[in-house]
Chains A and B, each alone.
Chain A
Amino acid sequence: MDARLSILIAEDNAADRMLLSSIISRQGHRVLTASNGLEAVAMFDQEQPDLVLMDALMPVMDGFEAARRIKLKAGEALVPIIFLTSLTEGEALVRCLEAGGDDFLAKPYNRVILDAKIKAMDRLRRLQATVLEQRDLIARHNEHLLNEQRVAKAVFDKVAHSGCLNAPNIRYLQSPFAVFNGDLLLAAFKPSGGMHVLLGDFTGHGLPAAIGAMPLAEVFYGMTAKGYSLSEILREVNAKLKRILPVGVFCCATLLNLSFQRRIVEVWNGGLPDGYVHRIATGERLPLVSRHLPLGVLEPSDFNDACEIYPMELGDRVFLLSDGVLETSNPAEQLFGESRLLNVFAANRQPDLLFDEIQQALSAFRGKAQDDVSMVQVCLVEAESLPRPPLAFADSGQSSPLDWAASFEFRAQTLKRFNPLPFLLQLLLEVQGLRLQGGALYSVLAELYSNALEHGVLGLDSQLKCDAPGFAHYYRERTRRLAELDQGYVRFHLQLLPEASGGRLVIKVEDSGTGFDVQQVLERQRTAQSLSGRGLGLIRRLTERSTWAADGRGVSVEFSWNDQA
């Protein structure tokens, strides 16, 4: 540290000026002198001294005015001004302070006191310089950080908002910068018209919390669009996050798979607070409890993708929330907690006002508005009431194949762990003429496959699903039987035929089951609106032609298209 300072002495009395100059230069500092205030200001402009010793009463311009001007010129930098005056006149001292004086020195001068004051002022001056430097550095870093966040948010918004959060059956509440709180909300239509929804909460804050959101969103949207199941998406997301995130960073998440046709919701909750299925008819709220470790914690081999399945009726809602709601704290450091949330639920009369009521309760509890909570509510509606976005394709489809046939047989070991639907859909969508009806094609394939697997290979009776307990029993049985499966098959025969102005696709599906009474099932379809068997009606509605083999072990459906259309 260079202790040599440049010091300006403004003093009209020549003997005092000479004496002070000598004392200060003997102490090793560089001395500048002025004999009145005006000279002092000019000297300050010219030499930028580090410190000023200023006589109060001087001709031409007094020390008070000169001090004011010098302080103004110095701006934020500290140029200490020590007034040279006897300490007897209180009024004069006040004027010194008002003019910006930092200290006083009385005559007669004392070398030791002067040295101590100069050193103290120098420390203060350096401290101020350091503070300013650090403030500017922090401001630059902050500017830099905000810019990075803006860029990251712009990229993230493009990825996250490519989904269907704006669908009419979804309501959500999230701060625009939620991703920097680690909060993530995604929703996407499945090719079959159902919907996947994800509410996630990464550990930490800022960019580290946001960084995992990008790959998660990519996997979620990419796989949903290709028709992968929730379990497959969960496995992939978990494996990817486990691979790329450092130990200790993970994502608490709830994933939903809503099937509007089948009127069910499939739920996986790893680490988020209870979500709820709200049954409008009874007012009942079923908690969707966390059964799993968060995503990105377990090795792929240890990961559990088991989902729970709940039947839903039209108008029923699924409500999810991040822990920001429960962890909102009041000035006494109490947490909002689950019981207060349940009180809001209990008081709720109009489901559409639930969000506002929760927000009001949080604001009242906290004493001010809460902006880092995420909530989403998804309503089960008629599939037809939702807009279906067209499937997106990377290629132009010019090299579309037209005349081919292929058969696939998926056997027990494959059925247990492989979902053939994305694979079949990808293959069929190479045919340009089928792309416009990709959604219907996928819905029908999905329906045919689950019928063949569940009723055929696994021998499950769809009548089990006549009420809610039976429904749960049905899906437990499905899981159990699939795990124990050691024989059986599902076959797909695909036949593509060119026609004069378009083409035709014939899909035949066979399974190893014992078959069923086709007439009876179709009859039941027409008469009852049970939880079961909405599927056959769907197939008949979406395909041009559908025929069942008399023994119920095979089905044939047809799609056709017209190039001129």
Chain B
Amino acid sequence: MADIHLDSAVLAGLQDIMEAEYPLLLDTFIADSEERLRLLHEALANSDAHELRLAAHSFKGSCSNMGAPALALLCKQLEDDSRNADVLVEAPAVLEQIEREFAIVRILLKSERQRFSSL
């Protein structure tokens, strides 16, 4: 599961639910995720474990809804790590991984969006 960047079955379901608003959902997720990433960096810079955990939790939830299991798993790891402030040493590396994974997901979603618009 962890090696799946974007689950096409989940996307099909979302498309079914959202109908015409499907591309808007994709755009919203991308914009929202960028905001989450910004918050994660900020929390880490402030060594604020609590904020880090909240942002990771929230990001994890929407990743699972959007069918990005690898990204969701990384968020969960960050959320779990930040539960204990002493382990924040691990966090920068995990956040780095999240950044890389999101970059992939972002590209895949953009192309999904284009595919839908061309239908």
Say whether, besides A57-B57, A107-B64, A107-B65, A15 and B17 are in contact (CB < 8 Å).
Answer: no
Is the pair A13, B58 in contact by a Cβ cutoff of 8 Å? yes
Q: Is B73 an interface residue (CB 8 A)?
A: no
Q: Is A26 an interface residue (CB 8 A)?
A: yes
Footprint of B on A, CB under 8 Å? 12-16, 18-19, 22-23, 26, 57, 59, 84, 86, 107-109, 111
Q: Which residues of B contact A57 (CB under 8 A)?
A: 54, 57-58
Is the pair A15, B65 in contact by a Cβ cutoff of 8 Å? yes
Q: Which residues of A contact B29 (CB under 8 A)?
A: 15
A86 to B62, CA, bound (A): 11
Q: Is B28 an interface residue (CB 8 A)?
A: yes
Is the pair B58, A15 in contact by a Cβ cutoff of 8 Å? no
- Sorted nearest first, the 4 A-B pairs with minimum C-beta distance are A15-B29, A107-B61, A108-B64, A108-B65
B14-50: CB near A (< 8 Å → 1, else 0) gives: 1001100100110011011000000000000000000
16 contacts between A and B (CB under 8 A): A12-B58, A13-B58, A14-B32, A15-B28, A15-B62, A16-B61, A16-B65, A18-B21, A18-B24, A19-B14, A19-B25, A22-B17, A22-B25, A23-B17, A57-B58, A84-B61
Chain A nearest CB: distance from B2 CB in Å? 16
Q: Which residues of B contact A84 (CB under 8 A)?
A: 61
A55 to B42, CA, bound (A): 23
Most buried by A among B18, B60, B61: B61
Q: Which residues of A contact B17 (CB under 8 A)?
A: 19, 22-23, 26, 111
Q: Which residues of A contact B10 (CB under 8 A)?
A: 108
A107 to B57, CA, bound (A): 11
Find the B residue at minimum CB distance from A23: B17
Is the pair A13, B21 in contact by a Cβ cutoff of 8 Å? no
Chain B nearest CB: distance from A37 CB in Å? 13
A39 to B19, CA, bound (A): 28
Chain B nearest CB: distance from A66 CB in Å? 15
Say whether, besides A19-B17, A111-B17, A13 and B62 are in contact (CB < 8 Å).
Answer: yes
Q: Is B6 an interface residue (CB 8 A)?
A: no
A57 to B39, CA, bound (A): 15
Q: Which residues of A contact B60 (CB under 8 A)?
A: 86, 107
8 further A-B pairs in the complex, CB-CB below 8 A; given A15-B62, A16-B65, A108-B67: A13-B58, A13-B61, A18-B28, A19-B17, A23-B17, A57-B54, A84-B61, A109-B65
Q: Is B66 an interface residue (CB 8 A)?
A: yes
A57 to B14, CA, bound (A): 24
Is the pair A19, B58 in contact by a Cβ cutoff of 8 Å? no
Is the pair A19, B65 in contact by a Cβ cutoff of 8 Å? yes
A12 to B21, CA, bound (A): 19
**Which residues 37-88 of B sit at the A interface, judged by CB distance below 8 A?**
54, 57-58, 60-62, 64-67
Most buried by B among A16, A23, A57: A16
Chain A nearest CB: distance from B55 CB in Å? 10
Is the pair B57, A22 in contact by a Cβ cutoff of 8 Å? no
